[in-house]
Amino acid sequence: MQNEIFEAANKASEAAYATVKEIAALNVATVETLVEKQFELVNQAVDLSVKQVKLATESKDPQVAIRAQVALVEDAAEQALDNVRDLVAIANKTRVAYDKLLDKNIKEAATKLEAVTKPKVKKAA
């Protein structure tokens, strides 16, 4: 009886460890993706700043400078919208992965619970 208890505890620990490893892998992948995106955002901000400085130093005609600045802002707004879409996609991908992991673990837990409770129900009957 004591060996069965230790075996059950060992199996539960192994299953919990496997789940923690999956969560850690998912977190690492998400953080890597977000860090890559952050570098991209920083590059975009630097590029925008360089273009603004270039406009300010090279423009002779105020009307031309204003039109160029408006075009620059429109491009930046489009990039910002694309970035938001990318971040939402990253969040959704992570959510789906967590949902799958949760569903898998709930099914495993239900199966284990059923396996543990069925023999006791049969003995009672």
Q: Give the residue, 15 or 51, on which the prediction is more confident.
A: 51
* pLDDT confidence bin for 68, thresholds 50/70/90: very high
Question: Per residue in 46-64, pLDDT tens?
Answer: 999 999 999 989 988 989 9
Question: Per residue in 16-46, pLDDT tens?
Answer: 889 999 999 999 999 999 999 999 999 999 9
61: left (phi over 0), alpha (psi -120 to 50) or beta: beta
**Tokens matching residue 123:** 């003995």
Overall domain count for the chain: 1
CA distances from 48 to 30, 56, 63, 99 (A): 27, 12, 20, 38
Domain limits at 12?
Answer: 2-124
pTM: 0.75
